[in-house]
Copies of this chain bind each other. A is one copy, B any other.
Amino acid sequence: MMTKEETEKFKQELKERGYKLTPQRRAILNVIIENEGRHLSPEEIYEFVKKECPEIGLATVYRTVQLLEKMGVLYRMNFDDGVSRYELVKNTADHQHHHLVCLKCGSIEEVEDDLLEVLEDKIAQKYDFFIKNHDVKFYGFCKKCRK
């Protein structure tokens, strides 16, 4: 659950862009914060948020995650399972972290280490391409599934 100060900060950020703080938006952001690390889909967020906000519509969830993405609060990701998934942007790192996707059990693990500076510098030079962010997934088999 967001603290009063966090809610106030969120309200401010919305206001700056001409948006309003609604109970639905607060509830959706709460669900995402409370499930940090889970990479929820709109449908999954909807199921959680209905507990708090039973009258909410799925379209509002879609609209809100898109809004939060535009505001830089969320990242949208695609793990090739047919749905978009969202996670909080960590303001500690300027680039998105990497993901380990298990081909057997589908688990998604986060990788702290970035370690792409060398490669990115090389690419920037060789291809004359300014890199703003990256999307790095490693597919393979997790510890559990290799036993």
Contacts and interface: CB of A to CB of B under 8 A. Distances in A.
Given A134-B137, A135-B135, A136-B134, A129 B142 contact: yes
A118 interface: yes
A94 interface: no
A22 interface: no
A111 B127 contact: yes
A85 to B, nearest CB: 12
B115 A119 contact: yes
A33 interface: no
Contacts of A80: 76, 78
Interface residues of A, number: 36
A9 interface: no
A140 B146 contact: no
B136 A109 contact: no
B129 A134 contact: no
A77 B18 CA distance: 37
Contacts of A111: 123, 127
A88 to B, nearest CB: 19
